[in-house]
Structure 1
């Protein structure tokens, strides 16, 4: 794997130093941000392969940083949350707001490297023009999708939702993340997303034996293969 460029967001300097030294020892480039605002500034101007994000930052919650990066970055930057918050609810909230992986402190630096490599590899696959998940095939160039080799009749927004969920797989996307990535700041009324999800589900799931589009209570939606 080629050298990775990583944004480390961590206000605890001893931890930041250990992580930076270890990752640089693998030939990777590491930029360090101590605050959420520094992280947002760096992420807005650098196309990092990965973001390693602590949740307990001095100026804002790391979940806010995660959601902002996911909504505003021109490319998808996988985010690995590093935190002492280890409850299921904390993890569900992190994934629901766009996190791609979650590692609780204290952690083994060797495991961190393995997770970084896996996330970078998965992200490269998701940048392919052809996405394949089980019996679902999506061609982002033709803006067409098939399931069990049957063409799916999708609206433009339905297709966007399907691509976003496929790129996030196997993680869910929150409702707010979907709304912002599809409509930006011109958000529709609260029922618009539900209506498009309903139409997508009718086309993607109802004609087939097993459903792929799952609703995750209090989180959002995900594809299940």
Structure 2
């Protein structure tokens, strides 16, 4: 993969570049926002690791510029020491695919990169597939095997998020943020909506696909 690292902390920047290069990836780096934006807008990358607090122009502005002005579909993973819900919501609002809180393990960063790149590729195909479950994003048709499944709008949105991140675990907080934003009262509905979704996509089938990961969130995948 071609990866761009935009990070102003020299040690973190150098460690990320070295780690990714040692694993066979082509990596370029920038230590400030303006240089990072120029590289991101003028060259083709599979993924960008983007710090938020940068000199010149911050990561949120870079991400928004790439999505709105450059129409870039590159996978973007935010890096930040900020871990408040509002910070994550802002990152997702401007177009980030994922958000990693510092400090982080290098292996987790690489795993997240692989996941968001795979999701981007899946989105571009416009058909999500997990096991025998298929979701056509253009027609909104959901099928499992030969059976057409009927889903309400909230269930479809949950399913789309879970399938895009499959086989990864999606945290409750991320699902709540992506579905309901700051409407705190609505977040209490997540468990009941997961129950409804599970009843549609798993009930009557031999193997369940929607799994609860206690203390973390939910995972959509085929398990042996």
- Choose which of 64, 70, 76 in structure 2 pairs with 1:50: 76
Q: How does 1:68-147 map to 2 (within 5 A)?
A: 68=89, 71-74=92-95, 77-78=97-98, 83=103, 102-103=108-109, 118-119=114-115, 121-127=117-123, 128-147=125-144
Q: How does 1:203-214 map to 2 (within 5 A)?
A: 203-214=200-211
**Contact 1:9-1:52 within 8 A present in 2 as well:** no
Q: Distance in 1 between matches of 2:28 and 2:66?
A: 12
CA deviations over 1:68-90 (Å, ceiling 9, x no partner): 4653233x53557774669xxxx
Alignment CA distance shift 1:118-1:181 (3 Å):
closer
Alignment CA distance shift 1:36-1:50 (3 Å):
closer
CA deviations over 1:94-124 (Å, ceiling 9, x no partner): xxxxxxx704xxxxxxxx6xx6874464133
**Contact 2:167-2:220 within 8 A present in 1 as well:** yes
**Contact 2:5-2:13 within 8 A present in 1 as well:** no
Which residue pairs with 1:8 in the alignment?
Answer: 6
CA deviations over 1:113-157 (Å, ceiling 9, x no partner): xx6874464133221211111110110111121112211111011
Question: Number of residue pairs matched?
Answer: 192
Which blocks of at least 5 consecutive residues in structure 1 are unaligned?
87-100, 104-111
Which residue pairs with 2:195 in the alignment?
Answer: 198
Q: Distance in 1 between matches of 2:85 and 2:182?
A: 16
CA RMSD of aligned residues (A): 3.6
Which residue pairs with 2:46 in the alignment?
Answer: none
Q: How does 1:14-33 map to 2 (within 5 A)?
A: 14-17=11-14, 19-20=16-17, 30-32=29-31
TM-score (norm 1): 0.67
Alignment CA distance shift 1:84-1:222 (3 Å):
closer
Deviation of 1:195 (Å): 1.8
Q: Distance in 2 between matches of 1:22 and 1:217?
A: 31
TM-score (norm 2): 0.67
Which residue pairs with 1:39 in the alignment?
Answer: 59
